[in-house]
Amino acid sequence: MVEIQPIRVELEVEEDGRHLACVPDLPGVMAYGSTEEEAIRKVKAIALQVLADMIESGEEVPSPLKALFAA
């Protein structure tokens, strides 16, 4: 498994026991999982897709995440 450290993930546990992971530097990027690990894996995959779309369309990548793309 690849570790993607610059992506900061916040976790919450819902009343029904599901885990919610979100990426504060990318508003709206969130994912549910039955475990912490599943939620983190899903939200990082979504975050990478959002970042790829931002780069492709010429949008500015949020400063905290620019380290992902440093040469």
Cβ neighbours for 7, distance < 8 A, ≥ 6 positions apart: 23, 25, 44, 47, 48, 65, 68
More confident residue, 2 or 6: 6
36/64 Cα distance (integer angstroms):
23
> pLDDT tens digits, residue range 24-56?
999 999 999 999 999 999 999 999 999 999 989
Paired tokens of 47: 């975050």
Pairing of strands 19-22, 10-13: antiparallel
Q: What is the CATH code for 10-69? A: 3.30.160.250
Per domain, the residue ranges of the chain are: 10-69
CB atoms near residue 37 (< 10 Å) = 12
Single pTM value for the model: 0.82
**What value does the mean pLDDT of the chain take?**
89
Max CA distance (Å), the chain: 43
